[in-house]
Amino acid sequence: MAPLPIRVDAISKQYDHVVALEDISFEVRPGEVFAVLGPNGAGKTTLVRTILDIIRPDRGRVEVFGRPFKPEDRDRIGYLPEERGLYLRQSVSEVLSYLGALKGLTQRDVRSRLSTWIERFELGSVVDRRIEQLSKGNQQKVQLIAALLANPLILILDEPLSGLDPVGARLVSSVIAECAAGGQAVLLSTHQMGLVEALCGRLFMLARGRCVLYGEVPTIKRTYASDVLFVQSDANYASSPCVAQVESVGHPDPGAMIRLRDGVSAPEFLRWLVASGATIERFERRSTPLEDIFVQVVAEQQRARQVHT
């Protein structure tokens, strides 16, 4: 069995009197896009820096490819940090050639890979321009190319869609999906829940340095699924003994959001609906968006902290 690209085992880190990470454990598998979520200040950046051996944990261990981090692992990890910048006075090709050389690539390798990525990210017209002359979105693409250039086995991307327009965001999303499909392990740190739902198989959520959610995205969504139904029909919902609350919605699809009374299941309500003789066009259980789960978990953590203090 191939070693796991990343395995974090019970790590803790404290700055002065602030707990940045406490007993954090997870793993990232090859070929998956793994999300690390958390509110601002939750410890995500510290966690990523610990994986990259920029910070050493106080306790616990981080394994990369089945063993402790080695200097040569830097060539096998592509990193797009949250706090990012570029050399503004140099051209796109100069900066990328330099960063490629730092990853151990020869000039020949850099040239061939650069032309592929430049074409993929549609930067051919600006490749000889200075970075400061580029739009924010194009600068973001350059930074992504820097992370991808060495064809790393592990990709760590912190807010990769920042500054991109919808077309650019879709392009980058597809590149991330392709990387995972090609066997690369992608660790994605983002606040864009849509991206997580679209790309990630598993997620890990931090709050104040502690793990508050960890697992498969569909499982987590099922766990936090609500009892809200979306129904399109001509029935009079208010007359149903199953319904606790009805809210009409007009956009994008006209219909009703229905919350059932305690103890009533969705099949029971469906049976009532059929029996009422109504014409039913649509009947579905609405899953809770990841964003709502995120907000709910963070709110629970804050309440728990207030009670604790």
Partner 1 sequence: MTRRALVVARWEFLTTITRRAYIVALVATPLLYGAVLGARVFAARVTSQGATTQAIAVVDHARVLDLAFASEQARLTPSPAERTDAEAGASRPMELVAYGEEPRALADLRARRVGAVFVIDAGYRTTGAVTVYETDSGLFGVVVGERRRARIADALRASLMQGTVSGDTFVRAYAPMAHAKSIQMDAQGRLESARTGLAVAGPVVGSFTPFLLLTMAIFLSAGYLQQATNEERHSKMLEILVSSLSTDDLVVGKILGLSAAGLLQVAIYAGLLLVPTLNLFGLVGVPLLKLLLSLTYFAIGYLLFACLMAGTGMLGRTSQSSAQLSAIWTLIATGPTFVLPVLIAAPNGVVARVLSYIPLTGPVTMMLRLAVTDPPAVDIVATMGIGLAAIYVTLRSMIALSRATTLMYGQRPNLPQLMRWLRQA
CA distances from 27 to 202, 203, 250, 272 (A): 10, 10, 43, 46
Q: Which of the residues 124 through 163 are near partner 1 (CB under 8 A)?
A: 143, 146
Q: How far is the CB of 229 from partner 1 (least distance, A)?
A: 47
The site map against partner 1 for 245-264 (x = CB under 8 A) is --------------------
Task: Measure the CA–CA gap between 222 and 48, rounded to whole angstroms.
Answer: 28
Q: Judged by CB under 8 A, does residue 222 bind partner 1?
A: no
What residue ranges in 45-152 does DSSP mark as E strands? 59-64, 67-68, 77-80
Which C-beta is closer to partner 1: that of 24 or that of 142?
142
Residue 179: C-alpha distances to residues 118, 147, 158 (Å): 16, 12, 16
Part in contact with partner 1 (CB under 8 A); list of ranges 46-54, 118-126, 248-256, 283-291:
46-54
Q: At its nearest, how many Å lie between partner 1 and the CB of residue 141?
A: 15
Q: What is the DSSP letter of 237?
A: G
Count of residues touching partner 1 (by CB under 8 A): 26
> What sign does the dihedral 164-111-154-71 (CA atoms) show?
negative
Q: Pairing between strand 77-80 and 67-68?
A: unpaired
Tokens found for residue 264: 């009533």
Give least dist CB 43 to partner 1, A: 13
Binding to partner 1 in span 60-119, by CB under 8 A: 71, 74-75, 77, 79, 81, 83-90, 98-99, 101-104
CB of 55 to partner 1, least distance (A): 7
SS3 205: strand
* The two structure tokens encoding residue 124: 């051919």
Provide the minimum distance between the beta carbon of 40 and partner 1 in the complex, in angstroms, as a whole number.
15
Query: Rule CB under 8 A: which residues touch partner 1?
Result: 49, 52, 54-55, 71, 74-75, 77, 79, 81, 83-90, 98-99, 101-104, 143, 146
